[in-house]
Each structure stands twice: as structure tokens, then as C-alpha cells.
Structure 1
Amino acid sequence: MMRTKITAWVGGAGYLLAVALLIGGAPRASGWVHGVGTLLAASLLVGVLRRAPLLALFLTLLGSTAVVVGVPSAPAHLSASDQGQFLSYLAADLVLGLVVATRARRASIVAVAGSVVVQFLVIGGFSHGPNQIADLVIALLAMAAACTVGLLGRERREHAVALRSQEVTEALIAERLRIARELHDMVAHSIGIIAIQAGAASQVIRTRPTEAGEALRAIEATSRETLSGLRRTLVALRQKEPGTAAARGQAALAPGPGLADLDRLAAATADAGVQVEVRRSGAERPLPADIDLSAFRIVQEALTNVVRHAGTGRCRVLVDYRDEELSVEIVDDGRGTTRNGSSHGFGLVGMRERVALLYGDLSAGPRPEGGFRVTARLPLPDPVGVPVEVR
């Protein structure tokens, strides 16, 4: 930081020194030499331009004006523009364009107004002959071109910022939806089972204490599992660097659920009073983590809906490993819909969102023969398999 500041100050002093040497060292040289020399000397202001564009604009206006004023007057038959001193104002115009592109609108307006006043006064005062109007028009066009380029740069920068902000907002919304789905699918199933078990235990705790004890143990096991899942979710949310060794260690200690846990899920559902028949067909094989987790959550949410809404004691889960897709079907012979005619609130919405993110297809609705069916088809990447270790 200090080195950059020193470089900027040295560059500003070097620019002023270069302008002074151009005026004093070659007083009889052509105005074109002074104009081009001043324009090249403006490259010394790069450091100042990065730190303080308004100061760089002031220095270039000062140096250009010094060249116009300090160069000896042209012969009577020549105009000052024929000598080329006004070319030095091009450096100020370039800096003006950068100020318009990067500074606040109020500062840009002040910079444009100051440049117009200085250049019009100096060019109008030192340009004589028939080319005076042309000199003023050229100066105005040069400033207008610089401001136009600066405005285009400002619009592009603001558009890029708006795009980045939109991407961040969309990413935050997507993450919030993902977390909402995870919490809903994980907690709703467990709380539903806990509520049913607690109700059963309260009814038989005096008459059948053994069954009440089993219900309470099921509540304890389900609560511990839910607490573990919540803790895993919170750890994932708190990880600032998921790729670190600590994060990988957490992932190894607490992997997410998948289709391999269907039997455990079926047992927990059976404790809530619904017997689940799990069938698997096709060539069973490892799946990508996102597909495996989404398929499990779909089955979990569908079983939760069966427990809470179907009013039946049995259901069937079919997992079909096909060549190009994974098919998951959950079927029951219960009521089909809830009493108000809707299908299971946010659960079905979460299922559709999960399937849509994986470019799959979901169908859910009452069966003609009675009951409810949920079918999800998730496309599989090609190929899907276990990598072979080369020894």
C-alpha cells in the first residue's frame, strides 16, 4: 500500500517535471512536439489515475494548459492550432472518460463541467485566426467522445455488478430451498413417527407397559437419529471451506442417507404402524450422491405421507435400477388424498423440486383402484459404476 502511494506521488511529480522541461527546454520547438510530448508524459500518471482519478484529471488539465500558455505565440499567419499545443488536452480527455466510467455521477458531472470550462477558456483565448471555431468544436467533440466511452464503460460495469448480484441472490435462494427440503424431509418423517408412537404409548402405558416401553424406545431411537441429522446439517452449514481436511473428516464420520438405508427406514415406519414392503429390481449399483440422497428423501417423504394421511397399514416401495434411469415407486391402498382434497402440503412440492433439479420426472396422485402412487424417474449418468483401482 505504501509503495503504491509513493509510486503515485513520484509519477505525479515526474509528470509536472516533464511538462516543465518540455516548455523550458525546447521553447522554440513546434507546438506539435509540445503537444505529443505532453500526451506521452501523461503515462507517468498511471499510479495517480488508479488511486485518485480526479487528481489525475486536475494534473493533466494543469499540464496541458501550461503547454498552451507557455509555448511562444505563433506567427501572425499561423494559428495556435497549427502549432499543435491543443493536442495535449487529449490526455485530459482520456482521464475524463475514466472518471465518468468509475466515479460517482456527481463527481463525474463536476469533472465534465471543469474540463469544458478550462478547455473552452484556454482554447478560446489562445486560438486566433479563422480556425478558432474549429478548434473549439474539435475540443468539444473530443470531450463528448471520451464521456460517451466512459458512460458505456459505466453501463457495462453496472450491468456486470447487477448480474453478479442476481447470481448471488439466486444461489442463496437455491440454497435456502435445499435446506428447507432437507429439514422438511428429515424432520417431518421423524416427528410424525414420534407423534404416533407417543400417542400409542400414552394409551397403553397403564394397561400394557411392555408395549409402551417399546414405543418409548422407538421414540428415543428416532429422536437420536433426527438429532444426528440436524447436527450433520448444521455442521455442513457452518463449514466455510468444505474442501478442507476437517470438512472431509466430518463427511466421512456422518455420511448422508441413501437407498442403502431403505430397510432401516422401513423398520422405523413399521414402528409407526405401517408395514413397508421394499422391492429392488435391476442391476443394483452405486449411485451418484445427489441422486442417491434425493431418491431416499422422496421415499422418506412418501412414507411420511402414508403414515399421516393414508389411513392404511401397508404400502410398497419399488426401486428399479435401469440402464439409463432410476425409478422409485411408492404405492399404498389408503384414502388416496387428504380430507380437503389436497396432496400432502409442502412434501409433494419438495419432491418435485428435487426431481426437477436432477432433470427427472415425478408423477403423484390417487390410483383408480384406490390408494395413492408416487413415481419418480431420475436419469443416471453414463456410465455409473465403481471405479476400478489399478495396481
Structure 2
Amino acid sequence: MHGAHAGAAQRLPWLTTLALTAFVQIGTGFAAHGQPGRADLSPLARVLLLLATAVLLFRHRHPAAVAYTTAGLTLVYLGAGLPYGPVFLAVAVACFAAVVAGHRRAAWEAVGGLWAGHLLLAHWLYRWLPPGDDGARPWGEELVVAVWIVAIAAVSELGRLRAEQWAKERAERARAAERRAAEERLRMARELHDVLAHSISVINVQAGVGLALLDSDPEQARTALTTIKAASKEALGEVRQVLDTLRTAGEAPRAPAPGLDRLPELIEQAASAGLTVDVTTEGVPAKLPPGMDLAAFRIVQEALTNVVRHSGSRHARVLVRHAGATLTLRIDDDGPATGAEAGGSGNGLAGMRERAAALGGTIEAAPRQDGGFRVTAVLSLPPGRDPKARTAPREDQ
């Protein structure tokens, strides 16, 4: 809220102040014709009216001082026996600005002081003030003044509440933008982790093979180096695709995000790292939303990467089961765990769980009783989305 007022304080409200000044000057001129008992609208009256509205130009920068000043000038105007009119409007605007800016006490002191001063002028001091033939004001008029004060108070409080609500909404939008930015950073970090972890694991394995066979089997070492080149090229392409989203906000990716339709490529990469993978598909494949399709692909990719890194088994099995609106992924290896340091960050399982949780799904990862390891992911289509068949059930071995 303070930030909004600080921004407003940099700009003087020229247009509204000029409009209010003209209204008060013209309105008081018309009102003076119906008050023969009051003094004429003299140059002094014009000057006092001008001052009372001119100070409103600074109502955003110095709201409390402007509220006191307009109330004081209005009281001087009334004490001079000048015609009643819309001069009270200047006080109303000043007090409104003060309340909205958070200076409620100053606003009420200004209004209260003006009312008390008006009571003294209208029912006691009028004997010694111009015009000389002016009598005490009817007490009924004080009721009208009281109604005006209540109206000013109500409108000012409503304005204050509305300003606070706007400030709160702006703060909430700012926090929401920060959350979206944080979520986007997390998404990109997770995406980069999954891309790099898999490719670098393949490169790590093939580099070891190449080094071991460099002298004894140069041809096999050449094959390992070829695999390293292909894996690094693909990793660079996927990293570039992820980073392209940073270049222009809202720009569509240059290439479609990977999904389960790219499982054959993933199996080939795993095979180049010495891992044989059998894939079984059950049920009628549904048309998955892009985000869910990407998450499913990355979960399988990360699970196979962990097999390459941490398992002594060179064989893994992937089950993709479509059951209505539910997609189940199960990745098994026969173990045992090698316990070797493979250079991973340790964030693979956490990343898989985050992907599943973002889609309202679950991940279970635990050793099997026979010594292997199993990762099971259960993902669900968004509510109200009907699965649409893409292909007939198949068995891939």
C-alpha cells in the first residue's frame, strides 16, 4: 500500500484539482445569490476559496497537512461571514485522501475541529463577526452538517478499504508471479537433471569401455566413442530445447517435448550402455496430455539411468499399463546394487516423486525381495478427461 501511495505522490493531481477549483468557485457564486444575509462573494472570498482548493494539489504528498489546512481555511472563510457553498467539498476531498493514505487521526481531527469551530461561529461568535445583522444559525442546520461529516467518514473508510484491497491484490499477484517463477526454475532444473543424468551416465559407461579396450580392441573402443558422440549430441539438443524457453517468454518450444512414443530411442541408448531393456505395454494406450507424457518419459528415463549407475544387473524390464484414466509405470532390474559411486547428484528419485506429485500421482521405489530394485509410478489423467485410444494393445520384447 505504501508503494502505491509513494508512486502516486510523484504525480501532482493537476486535473482533478483544477476541476474541483472551478466547481467550488462557480458553485459558490450561484449559492451566494440565495443568501442575502451573508456578505457578497468579494475578492477575499475568491482568494480563500482558491487557497482551500489549491492546497489539494499536495494531498497525496502531505495528506495530514492538507487536511488541517483546508479545514482551517474553510473555518476562516465561514468566520468572515462569506456565503455558504461547496467549500466543504475541499475538506471532504482532503480528509478522504488523508484516510486512504493512513492518516485517519489527522482527518478526524480536521473534520472535528471544523465542526466545533462552525458551532462556535454559528451559535456564539456570530455576534462579533460579519455580517453584523446575521443571527444564530438554526440548530437544524447542524444536523445537515453532521450528516455531511458522517457521509465523508463513510466514503473515506470505503476508499481506504478499497485501497488496502487493491494493495493486497497487487501483493498477492506479485507473490503468485514469484511462485510461478520458482516453479519454473524448479521445473527447468528437474528437466536438465533428467536430460543430463541419463546422457552422462551413458557417456560415463562408454568412456570406461573405451579406455579399457583402447589398446586391446581399438574397433570396440571406436564404437564406444561413437556412442559417446551420439549421446552427447542428443544431450546438447535437449538442453538447448529447455534453455530456448528462456529466450522469449511465452514462445512455443522449437521441438516437441519427448513422450512415451520415444521409448524405443531410450531403449537404444540404454543398450549402448550395455543394458538390455524389455518393454511390455498393457491395456489400450490413452492420449496423454503433453505434461503427463513428458513426466512418464522422464520417470522411465531416470529409472533406467539409476539401473545403469547403481545396479550390477545388465537387464531391466519396463511395464507400461494403461487402465482407464490411470497410467502405471513399473521398472525392474535384477540387481544387486553395486554400491559404486557413479557421479550422480542423488536427486533422481526426488525428481521422479516431484514429477508424479505435480500430476497428483505417486512413486514407490524400493528393493525387491529377490535382490533387485523396483520403481512403480502411478499417474492419473486430469478429472473429466476421457482417455482416447491411439493404438491397439501390443507386446514388445
Higher RCO structure, 1 or 2 (CA under 8 Å, sep 6+): 2
Aligned partner of 1:214 in structure 2 is 223
State TM-score, norm by structure 1.
Answer: 0.73
Distance 1:142 1:126, change over 3 A: farther
> Counterparts in 2 of 1:49-128, with a 5 A limit?
54=63, 61=71, 64-65=74-75, 68-69=78-79, 89=88, 92-93=91-92, 95-101=94-100, 103=101, 105=102, 108=103, 112=107, 115-116=110-111, 119=114, 122-123=117-118, 125-128=120-123
Q: 1:203 and 2:212 equivalent?
A: yes
Distance 1:235 1:50, change over 3 A: farther
> Counterparts in 2 of 1:236-251, with a 5 A limit?
236-242=245-251, 247=252, 251=253
Aligned partner of 2:43 in structure 1 is none
C-alpha distance after superposition, 1:64-87 (max 9, x if no partner): 5476346569xxxxxxxxxxx599
Code of the residue aligned with 2:22 in structure 1: it is G
Aligned partner of 2:181 in structure 1 is 172
Aligned partner of 1:385 in structure 2 is 388
The alignment partner of 2:281 has SS state of: strand
CA contact (8 A) 2:67 2:107 kept: no
CA contact (8 A) 2:27 2:85 kept: no
Aligned partner of 1:361 in structure 2 is 362
Code of the residue aligned with 1:115 in structure 2: it is A
State TM-score, norm by structure 2.
Answer: 0.72
Counterpart-to-counterpart distance in 2, 1:26 and 1:368: 102
Deviation at 1:164, TM superposition (A): 2.0
CA contact (8 A) 1:305 1:344 kept: no
Distance 1:94 1:338, change over 3 A: farther
5+ residue gaps in structure 1? 31-40, 74-84
Code of the residue aligned with 2:121 in structure 1: it is F
Code of the residue aligned with 2:326 in structure 1: it is E
> Counterparts in 2 of 1:248-327, with a 5 A limit?
251=253, 253-327=254-328
CA contact (8 A) 2:311 2:338 kept: yes
Deviation at 1:166, TM superposition (A): 2.5
Deviation at 1:308, TM superposition (A): 0.6
Code of the residue aligned with 2:92 in structure 1: it is D
Distance 1:87 1:271, change over 3 A: same
Counterpart-to-counterpart distance in 1, 2:85 and 2:28: 16
Deviation at 1:153, TM superposition (A): 3.4
Counterpart-to-counterpart distance in 2, 1:145 and 1:310: 73
Counterpart-to-counterpart distance in 2, 1:333 and 1:315: 7
Distance 1:200 1:152, change over 3 A: same
From 158, 167, 190, give the equivalent of 2:199. Answer: 190
Counterpart-to-counterpart distance in 2, 1:202 and 1:144: 84
Deviation at 1:219, TM superposition (A): 0.7
Deviation at 1:370, TM superposition (A): 1.7
Aligned partner of 2:20 in structure 1 is 12
C-alpha distance after superposition, 1:224-249 (max 9, x if no partner): 1111111111111222233xxxx3xx
Counterpart-to-counterpart distance in 1, 2:74 and 2:272: 88
Counterpart-to-counterpart distance in 2, 1:113 and 1:57: 9
Aligned partner of 2:232 in structure 1 is 223
Deviation at 1:368, TM superposition (A): 1.5
The number of aligned residues is: 344
Deviates more, 1:288-297 or 1:172-181: 172-181
CA contact (8 A) 1:99 1:150 kept: no
Distance 1:350 1:337, change over 3 A: farther
Counterpart-to-counterpart distance in 2, 1:89 and 1:338: 84
Aligned partner of 1:335 in structure 2 is 336
Counterpart-to-counterpart distance in 2, 1:182 and 1:174: 12
More helix by share: 1
C-alpha distance after superposition, 1:199-258 (max 9, x if no partner): 21112112111111111111111111111111111111222233xxxx3xxx3x511111
Distance 1:374 1:49, change over 3 A: farther
Deviation at 1:152, TM superposition (A): 3.2
In angstroms, what is the RMSD of aligned CA positions?
4.1
CA contact (8 A) 2:367 2:374 kept: yes
Code of the residue aligned with 1:28 in structure 2: it is P
Distance 1:211 1:154, change over 3 A: same
The alignment partner of 1:369 has SS state of: coil
The alignment partner of 1:286 has SS state of: coil
